[in-house]
Amino acid sequence: MNKKNSIFNLILKNGLFLYCLLVALCAIGVCFYNIFVGLVLLSVSVATFVLKLKEEKNAVDATIKYYSSMAEVNDKFDITKGVTIAMVSVGTDGKINWWNEAFGEICPSVTMHDGITEHIPSVTMDLLSRMGSGEECRVDHGEKCYQLTNVPFKADNVTDSAFVVTLKDITELEYYKKEARDIRTVIMHVLIDNYDELLSEEGDDVSYQAEKEIETLIFEWVKSFGGSVRHIEKGRYMCLFNSEMLERIKTDKFDILEKAKLRGAGSAIEPTLSIGVGIGGEDINEIDVFAKTALDMALGRGGDQAVIKDGSSFTYFGGKNRETEKRTKVKARVKALAMLGLIEECDNVIVMGHVNADADSFGASVALACIAMAHGKPAKVLLEGCDSTVISLMRSFENNQTHSGLFINKMQARELIRPKTLVVVCDTHRRSLVASAEILDEAYSVVLIDHHRRSEEFISNTDLLYHEPFASSSCEMVAEMLQYIGRGGINAEIAEAMYAGILIDTNNFIYKTGVRTLEAAAYLKRLGADTLRVRKSFRESYEAYRQRSEIVCAMEMYKESVGISKVYSDSVRQDVIAKAANDILEIENVVASFVIAPVSENVISVSCRSYGDINVQLIAEKLGGGGHMLAGAAQLEDTDVDTAEKMLKEAIDEILSEK
C-alpha cells in the first residue's frame, strides 16, 4: 500500500499523469481524422509514460539505497547511541547531503545542499580530496578547534561518491598541549666569540670594564624574560627558562646579538656572541646536549648568530655580518700532529673531496695524499668528476712519474679498502657531497678537513675533525699543517695546485683573505709555486668565454641592487656559472649576483656571490645549498629555470625583509 502510494505521489509530483493524459486526448482527437496516425500517437504516449515511470522509480530506489547506506554509517559510528562526535556527509560537489545532531549544534543554520565551506571555511574540497582515508588534521572554527577525520565513501549502486567527515572537539586538549609546550625547559649557552681578543685589546682596566659590560648585558637580557643565568667559564654563560619565553626571544630575533656590538662602539674590536639553544629533549641532559650542538653549529657557521635545536630541526637567527679571522696556529699544529699519528697507525690512505672537484678540493687532496706517502703509507686520491681548472692542473701530474697512478675511481677505491684504511675528506663536511659515501662507511678511521660554514648535514663519525669556517680555503688549512709535519713529498706541481685552490676560493685574494691566507700563499711560493703557470691554468676556451659573456649580458637588476642572470641552454659548466657570477658582481651598483643555469638534464644550479651587504649563504641554504657569506651555491632537481628564479626571489625577499 505504501509503495503504491509513493508511486502515485511520484506520478503526480512529476506531472507525468497530466502529460500523458494530454497526449492521449490529442491522439484520440486525431483518430477522427486519421485512425493510423492517432494509434501511433497513442502508442508513443503510453511508451513514454512507462519509460519515464521506470526512470523515476530507479532514481527513487537509488536514493533510498544511498540514505540506507548513510544509515549504516550512522550505525557504524554509533550515532544513535549518544556519541557526540559531529558528522556530515559531503558530495564531490561540496554540497552537504546529510548531518547528525552534533554537527547541527556546531552549525545551527545548516540546511540540505548547503556548501560545507559556507559553514566551516577551513574545510574545503581541496583539503578533503588531498586527505587519505582515515587521515586527520586540525581545523579551527570560531573559538574552538576540531580534529577532522575524512572517510571517502561510496554507497552501493550510487554513482556519486561522498566524504563522511567527523569533527571531534579538541579545544580543551589543545589548550593543555599549549600549556605543556609553554612550560618546557629550555637551555641556552651564550659564548663571547672574541673573548680573548677583547680582553687583550688594551690595559687590564679597560679589559675588565669590557668584560663586565658584556656580562651585565647578558644578565639583564636573560632576566628581562624571566630566565636564570650562570657564568660557567671564561666568556661562556648558561641560561635556563621555559619555551613561552623562547617565543618572545624569537619574536625579537635575538636582539642581544646587535646589542652586544653596540657595547663595543668606539673599540677596535667589536664584541660578538654565539648562542646555542636546546629544546624538545627527553630529559634535561638531552636538552643540554641539544644546546651544545646548537652552539657548535653557530660557531661552525662563523659565529655572531643564534641557533635553536628542537629535536632534529635547526632554526637560525643572525649570521648577517662578515666573519673575522678568529683562529690560532696552535690549533693547526695540534691537528697536524694528531693527523700524523693516525697516518702512522693505518695500513693505507684514501683521500677524497667533493663530487665535481674544484681547485681547492683537488689541491688539498693531492697534498694530503703526498704527506701520507712521505710517511711511508700507500695513498690514492679518489676523484668523482672535476671542473676545467682541475683538468688543466692534472696535465702536469700526468707528465710526472712520481705521481703516476695517484688518481683512482670509486671501483678502484673499493679494492683498496684494508682493515685499517684511513679515509681523509677535505673541502666538504656534507655526506651527500663526498666523492663516495660507500668508501666513507667502510673506513677504519676518518679525518675531516673543511672550511665551509657548518650545515645541518655533517659527517659525524670522524676520528679527527679540523673545521675552520674562518679559513679562506682547505688548501690554506693544509698549507699551515705542512709547516708542522714537514714538506716531504710536496713539489712545485702540488704547491701550484694548492696555490690555485686558494686563488679560486678567494677570487684572486678578494674574499675571506686574512693575514693567514697571505702567509699560506707565501709559503707555497717558497715551495716552488709558479704564479704565472697557475694563471695560465685558469685560461678557458673561446666558447666558454663567449658563453660567460652572454650570461653577464643577460643580467637583470632585481630590488635595484641584486643582479640575476638566467640561462636556458641545455647544459652549462659549473665553473662557467661561477665565473659569470663573479663578473656580474663587478658591475656598478650590484651588491649581490646570482646566475641560474642548467648543469644537467634534471638539475638547475644557482651560483651566488656578494661583497658582504647580503649574506648569500642564507639565501643558498633556503634553496637547499650552502657556502659562506660572500659565496654560495645550490642545486635544484626536477625543476626549470623560471621556477628556480621564482624560488630564488622569494628567498632574497625573505632575507632582505629580516635586515
Q: Residue 571 CB: number of other CB atoms within 10 A?
A: 12
In a domain, 323, yes or no: no
Q: At which residue does the C-alpha cell 578547534 appear?
A: 145
Residue 406 domain-assigned (yes or no): yes
Fill in the DSSP letter of residue 115: B
Residues making up the chain, counted from first to last: 659
Last residue of a domain, one of 76, 110, 134: 76
Of the chain, the percentage scoring pLDDT greater than 70 comes to 79
Identify the domain containing residue 235 by its residue range.
185-318
Residues 42-60 pLDDT 10s? 676 666 666 766 666 666 5
In a domain, 366, yes or no: yes
Mean pLDDT of 211-235: 87
- Kindly state whether residues 492 and 465 are assigned to the same domain: yes
For residue 558, what is the enclosing H or E element? Answer: strand 556-558
Q: Is 60 exceeded by the pLDDT of residue 459?
A: yes
CATH of the domain at 226: 3.30.70.270
Report which of 420, 367, 419, 362 is spatially closest to residue 387, judged by C-alpha positions.
Answer: 362
pLDDT band, very low/low/confident/very high, at 64 (cuts 50, 70, 90): low
DSSP string, 514-554: -HHHHHHHHHHHHTT--HHHHHHHT---HHHHHHHHHHHHT
Q: What is the pLDDT of residues 384-414, one digit of tens each?
A: 988 888 888 887 776 666 677 889 999 999 9
Given a cut of 50, whether residue 78 has pLDDT beyond it is no
Whether residues 239 and 283 fall in one domain: yes
Which domain CATH number covers 141? 3.30.450.20
Q: What is the DSSP letter of 454?
A: P
DSSP assignment of 123-165, as one string? --HHHHHHSPTT-EEEEEETTEEEEEEEEEE--TT-SS-EEEE
CA nearest to 651, candidates 606, 588, 589, 603: 606
Same domain? 479 vs 460: yes
Give the residue from 12, 47, 76 where a domain finishes.
76
Look at residue 237 and tell me if it is in a domain: yes
pLDDT for residue 162 is more than 80: no
Over range 598-614, report the average pLDDT. Answer: 89
Looking at the fold, whether 66 and 166 belong to one and the same domain comes out as no
Structure confidence at residue 77 as a pLDDT band (50, 70, 90): very low
- Same domain membership, residue 123 and residue 173: yes
Regarding whether 333 and 306 lie in a shared domain, the answer is no
- What's the pLDDT tens digit per position in 193-216? 877 776 665 555 555 676 788 888
Tell me: do 304 and 360 sit in the same domain: no
Mean pLDDT over residues 476-491, rounded? 86
Same domain? 163 vs 202: no
- Contacts of residue 19, Cβ cutoff 8 Å, sequence gap at least 6: none
Cell 683521500 sits at which residue?
A: 351
Does one domain contain both 60 and 88?
no
Q: In this predicted structure, what is the pLDDT of residue 76?
A: 47
Measure Cα distances from 550 to 454, 569, 582, 585, 638 in Å: 34, 11, 14, 15, 25
Q: Is 271 inside a domain boundary? A: yes
Q: Do 436 and 516 fall into the same domain?
A: yes
User: Which CATH number do you get for residue 635?
Assistant: 3.10.310.30
Place 658 in a pLDDT band, splitting at 50, 70 and 90.
confident
Count structural domains, the chain. Answer: 5
Is there a single domain that holds both residue 154 and residue 173? yes
Taking only the tens place, the pLDDT of each residue in 293-319 is: 899 888 877 788 899 998 878 888 887
**Residue 632: which pLDDT band, with cuts at 50, 70 and 90?**
confident
Beta strands in 21-155 (DSSP E): 86-91, 96-99, 136-141, 144-153
The pLDDT tens digits for 532-580 are: 989 888 888 899 899 999 999 999 999 989 999 999 887 888 889 989 9
Give dist(CA 644, CA 623) in Å, integer.
9
Computed over every residue of the chain, the mean pLDDT equals: 82
Kindly state the average pLDDT of the residues 450-462. Answer: 85
Is 313 within a domain? yes
pLDDT of residue 159: 46
520 and 648 share one domain: no
State yes or no: pLDDT of 161 exceeds 80. Answer: no
Q: Which of 537, 556, 588 is the last residue of a domain?
A: 537
Q: Residue 324 falls within a domain, yes or no? A: no
Residue 513 confidence (pLDDT) above 90: no
167 vs 32, which has greater pLDDT? Answer: 167
In this structure, what CATH number is given to the domain that contains residue 346? 3.90.1640.10
Q: How far apart are CA 308 and CA 452, in angstroms?
A: 20
- Prediction pTM value: 0.62
Query: Mind giving me the DSSP string for 316-345?
Result: EEE--S-------HHHHHHHHHHHHHHHHH
Query: Residue 321: is its pLDDT beyond 50?
Result: yes
The three grid cell numbers given for residue 530, joined into one nine-digit string: 709558479
Is 494 a member of any domain? Answer: yes
DSSP labels, 156-210? TT-SS-EEEEEEEE-HHHHHHHHHHHHT-EEEEEEEETTHHHHHTSS-HHHHHHH
Pick the residue with more confidence: 495 or 331?
Answer: 495
